[in-house]
Amino acid sequence: MTDSWKLTLPCTRAEAEAIDAAEMTIDAVLMTTEEIEDDREHWRLDAYFEAEPGAETVAAIRALVPSATGADVVVERLGDADWVTMSQAGLEPLHVGRFYVHTGEAVAPEGTRAFHIAASRAFGTGHHETTSGCLAMLDGLSDARFAHVIDIGTGTGLLAFAAAHLWPEAAVMATDIDPVSIEVTRENAALNAVPGIDLVVADGTLDDAIVARAPYDLVIANILAGPLVSMAPEIASIADTGATIVLAGLLETQREAVVAAYAACGCAIEAVDRRGDWSVLRLRAGDVRFVADGPFDPKGRDGWALDI
């Protein structure tokens, strides 16, 4: 085993939440920690690497936390240690409904479905409010029946795995724009003995495999408010009439804009699960299937990462 490295910078709670919710392309495990209880300004970002980070990587990490401009970057060698194990220190198992999510050795409560989701290069260990809220929303739908499910922006695959457990007869597809996330999801599916999930690297819904499988009676999209708004016509167009749509990755202050974008496509809000500053939405597609006015242009998604 080679030496691992850790980079540390101060950050704010808002920056920490944005980091936790965003899809990352940096080859590291990023962990954020509250340093002073209930203090929005005093948080910490730790980035774990398999090798010493270079100047470009340090600059990319710095760009995630503008409040740390001028602060000293602390880079330390961890020695002969597993970088993923080090990064997971302090992550307690998460129990949501019938799901039990852990990052290492753990004994699941009787009657739960355990998922081992290691902190990795993809977002979605279940600990962020967006992911845990989606798990709770899916758990609450367990009495429903779904035959065609899609998880857009799957990250580690956790939500797709939960759907496959709740509806074992359903055809489940998991997609992500990041090939690394699909690689991680494939590894996690094998680790957790989750069979039969179709994995697709795709920009939103713009892939022949996704369109060919449509319409879906359950659509899950845990991404960010910007893409949720810009992709509303895409997502509505692959949803069946009366389909259930679960959306997450949005702040409560962004809820109105997201709901309005889907209302314009015939979707109505049915439930909201608010968790801290974050909200998880459940919508119902219209009784007439939505048809877009023209072809979708991914160039129209500029500014995905911006608040709306």
Strand partners, 75: 7
Whether residue 205 contacts residue 237, with contact meaning beta carbons closer than 8 Å, is answered with yes
Measured at the CA of 218, the angle between CA 214 and CA 223, to 5 degrees, comes to: 95
Question: By percentage, how much of the chain surpasses pLDDT 90?
Answer: 51
Residues 238, 148 contacting (CB under 8 angstroms): no
Pairing label, strands 278-284, 99-102: unpaired
Enumerate residues 6+ apart whose C-beta is below 8 A from 136: 96, 97, 273, 280
* Average pLDDT value for residue range 172-181: 91
pLDDT score at 306: 37
Tell which wins on pLDDT, 16 or 140.
140
**In angstroms, rounded to a whole number, what is the distance separating the alpha carbons of residues 247 and 259?**
10
- Is 192 assigned to a binding site? no
For residue 98, the tally of other CB atoms under 10 A from its CB is 16
**153 is an annotated ligand-binding site residue:** yes
Q: How many CB atoms lie within 10 A of CB 81?
A: 16
- Cβ-based neighbour number of residue 86 at 10 Å: 18
Radius of gyration, CA atoms only, the chain: 19
Q: According to the model, what pLDDT value does residue 204 have?
A: 87
Domains in the chain: ranges and CATH: 3-87 (3.30.70), 123-301 (3.40.50.150)
- Quote the percentage of the chain above a pLDDT of 70: 83
Question: Is 176 marked within a binding site?
Answer: yes
pTM of the entire predicted model: 0.73
- Chain position carrying tokens 């429903």: 144
Q: Report whether 302 belongs to an annotated binding site.
A: no
- Other Cβ atoms closer than 10 A to 84: 17
Residue 288: the pLDDT is: 94
pLDDT for 89 beyond 80: no
Per-residue model confidence (pLDDT) at position 307: 39
Asked if residue 284 lies in contact with residue 270, where contact means CB atoms within 8 angstroms, the answer is: yes
Question: How many distinct helices (H) and strands (E) make up the chain?
Answer: 10, 14
| Rounded CA separation 5/27 (Å) | 12
Task: Report whether pLDDT(6) > 80.
Answer: yes
**Least-confidence region, from 37-41, 132-136, 180-184:** 37-41
